[in-house]
Amino acid sequence: MANAPVPRILILAAGPLCRNPRVHKEAVTLGRAGFDVTVSSIANIERFEAFDRDMLVGAPFSRIAVDRLSRGPASRIAGFMERAASWLARRAVRWGVDSPLALGPYHALRALAVRHAADLTIVHAELPFCIGAHLIARGLNVAADFEDWHSRDLLPSARSARPLRLLEKTEALLMRRSAYSSAPSESMATALHAAYGGQVPIVIPNTFPLQPEPSPLPRQRPPSFFWYSQTIGEGRGLEAFLSAWSLMAAESRVRLLGEVSEAYRERLVRSVPERRRKSLDFLPLVAPDALPGLIATHDIGLAIEPDTPESRFLTTTNKVFQYLNAGLAIVATPTAGQREVLSKVPGCGILAERSSPEALAAQLDALVSRPGLLAEMGAAARAGAVNYYSWERSEPVLIAAVNRALGKPSAT
């Protein structure tokens, strides 16, 4: 009897692997589980493409890309036409006309997905969501990962050119007709179900594989606060934190990792007293495999998310789980998603006081001036990663959902 064909899974993503850790973890897990996995991307930034090539070495999945780095005339013309179409579509949004072209190279990525004809396509992010709706209309099998609630995300200045009505309609369709949907927090899953109906999304937190046992806290003198993201910019709580940090009596360092414009960097530097400026460091982006080790050299992880937009309030970001993994004490703002984690891992950190900069400064002083407390929090954080929040604990949930979507019996 011939062996059954290996199910083909397409993970449809628009960005590079190095900026999509959730996509990368999903691809590795499903590839190691025996599925034939392909990840899509749009190759348009050379340095990110270099990171991606390194990540693909020995990976248990393959990649197909919409190539916009080629210097050939066909690629240049296609890229120019896509940028022009996207510009026009964003303008049209302001006139009340929504189009997926406002989100990027819709036609090229849709054609890639249709040609691949996977047994299951898992869509991530705005543009792939729109393509997922198209695939469902063609009768294809689609799952949707709601890492963010796209129609309720971004600052107002960025939302004006987004096709929000289209995104909301697409999200509703995916919630109701996908083989399954997933979300990074219970708060997000509950809110999505309340808004759109359908099945409640499975919860797959933004966790990471357990890294080697970290050294105990404190690790630096003076103790260091660490924050990272792809971009250092407005709407991320940095201004409010630095206002409080400027008022601290105890000495400490702040290290911010990510891409930052010169103007915004200067703005943050000028927001703190001159005596503190030598203790404020900006670090460039590093390769994904270098990030955990870098985080583990610090003492206190900052998860200072604002309450708005709604997506940010409901989710739990990558950084919280990286801090738990590395055994950092955590300073987190009391968003729904972060309360969820800190309630499950008591003693790993504090919820930041936001009534005044003075109140937060007092909390921060209490942390950095008590090495014993820092050590206890670091140990609790690492235990939380081991016992609850590691990618190893999420893998069976993901594999079971994919097996159900493919009509395969789950392992007992």
Phi, psi values for residue 104, rounded to 5°: 135, -160
User: What confidence score (pLDDT) does residue 381 get?
Assistant: 98
Q: For 303-343, how does the pLDDT look when each residue is reduced to its tens digit (9 = 90+)?
A: 999 888 999 999 998 999 999 999 999 999 999 999 999 99
14 vs 60, residue with greater confidence: 60
Q: Specify if 307 maps to a domain.
A: yes
User: Are 264 and 195 within one domain?
Assistant: no
Cα–Cα distance list, 214 to 219, 275, 286, 382, 388 (Å) = 10, 32, 20, 8, 17
Q: Specify if 1 maps to a domain.
A: no
In the chain, count H helices and then E strands.
18, 13
What count of Cα atoms within 13 Å lies in the side-chain half-sphere of residue 379?
A: 7
Instruction: Report the distance separating Cα 409 and Cα 412, nearest Å.
Output: 9
Q: For 158-209, how does the pLDDT look when each residue is reduced to its tens digit (9 = 90+)?
A: 788 899 999 999 999 999 999 999 999 999 999 999 999 999 999 999 999 9
User: What confidence score (pLDDT) does residue 44 get?
Assistant: 86
Q: Specify if 363 maps to a domain.
A: yes
User: Are 244 and 154 within one domain?
Assistant: no
Task: pLDDT band for 409, please (50, 70, 90 cuts).
Answer: low
Q: Specify if 218 maps to a domain.
A: no
User: Are 166 and 21 within one domain?
Assistant: yes
Q: Are 162 and 139 in contact (CB under 8 A)?
A: no
Supply the angle between the helices 21-32 and 391-405 in degrees, to the nearest 10.
Answer: 70
Could you give the number of structural domains in the chain?
A: 2
For 138, the token pair is 């063609």
Q: Is 12 helix (H, G, I), strand (E, B) or coil?
A: strand
User: Are 399 and 377 within one domain?
Assistant: no
What CATH number did the domain enclosing 21 receive?
3.40.50.2000
How high is the mean pLDDT of the chain? 94
Dihedral sign for Cα atoms in the order 55, 225, 346, 378: positive
Nearest to 87 by CA among 99, 70, 102: 102
Q: How far apart are the first and last CA of the chain?
A: 24
Instruction: Report the distance separating Cα 169 and Cα 150, nearest Å.
Output: 11
User: Are 34 and 165 within one domain?
Assistant: yes
User: Are 137 and 269 within one domain?
Assistant: no
Task: pLDDT band for 67, please (50, 70, 90 cuts).
Answer: confident
Q: For 92-143, how does the pLDDT look when each residue is reduced to its tens digit (9 = 90+)?
A: 998 999 999 999 999 999 999 999 999 999 999 999 999 999 999 999 999 9
Which of the residue ranges 58-67, 147-156, 202-211, 293-302 would you say has the lowest mean pLDDT?
Answer: 147-156
348 vs 78, residue with greater confidence: 348
Q: Specify if 143 maps to a domain.
A: yes
What DSSP string runs through 251-284?
--EEEEEEE--HHHHHHHHHTS-HHHHTTEEEE-
Phi, psi values for residue 289, rounded to 5°: -75, -10
User: Are 96 and 231 within one domain?
Assistant: no
Q: Specify if 215 maps to a domain.
A: no
For 320, the token pair is 């919280």
Average pLDDT over residues 42-47: 88
Chain centroid to CA 332: 17
User: Are 154 and 53 within one domain?
Assistant: yes
Percent of the chain beyond pLDDT 70?
Answer: 98
User: Are 152 and 233 within one domain?
Assistant: no
Beta bridge partners of 332: 303, 351
User: What confidence score (pLDDT) does residue 1 get?
Assistant: 44
Task: pLDDT band for 77, please (50, 70, 90 cuts).
Answer: confident
Nearest to 183 by CA among 314, 87, 55: 314
Nearest to 30 by CA among 388, 403, 385, 322: 403
Task: pLDDT band for 4, please (50, 70, 90 cuts).
Answer: confident
User: Are 169 and 184 within one domain?
Assistant: yes
Q: Is 177 helix (H, G, I), strand (E, B) or coil?
A: helix
Range of the domain at 352: 224-387
Residue linked to tokens 């800190």: 342
User: Are 319 and 370 within one domain?
Assistant: yes
The H or E element spanning position 343 is helix 336-344
Q: For 261-309, how does the pLDDT look when each residue is reduced to its tens digit (9 = 90+)?
A: 999 999 999 999 999 999 999 999 998 899 999 999 999 999 999 888 9
Q: Burial of 325 by CB count in 10 Å (0-12 exposed, 13-18 middle, 19+ buried)? A: buried
Q: Specify if 184 maps to a domain.
A: yes
Residue linked to tokens 């309630």: 343
Q: Are 311 and 158 in contact (CB under 8 A)?
A: no
Q: Specify if 130 maps to a domain.
A: yes
Other residues' Cβ atoms within 10 Å of the Cβ of residue 91: 12
Instruction: Report the distance separating Cα 32 and Cα 320, nearest Å.
Output: 26
User: What confidence score (pLDDT) does residue 410 get?
Assistant: 58
User: What confidence score (pLDDT) does residue 294 get?
Assistant: 97
Task: pLDDT band for 412, please (50, 70, 90 cuts).
Answer: very low
User: Are 98 and 67 within one domain?
Assistant: yes
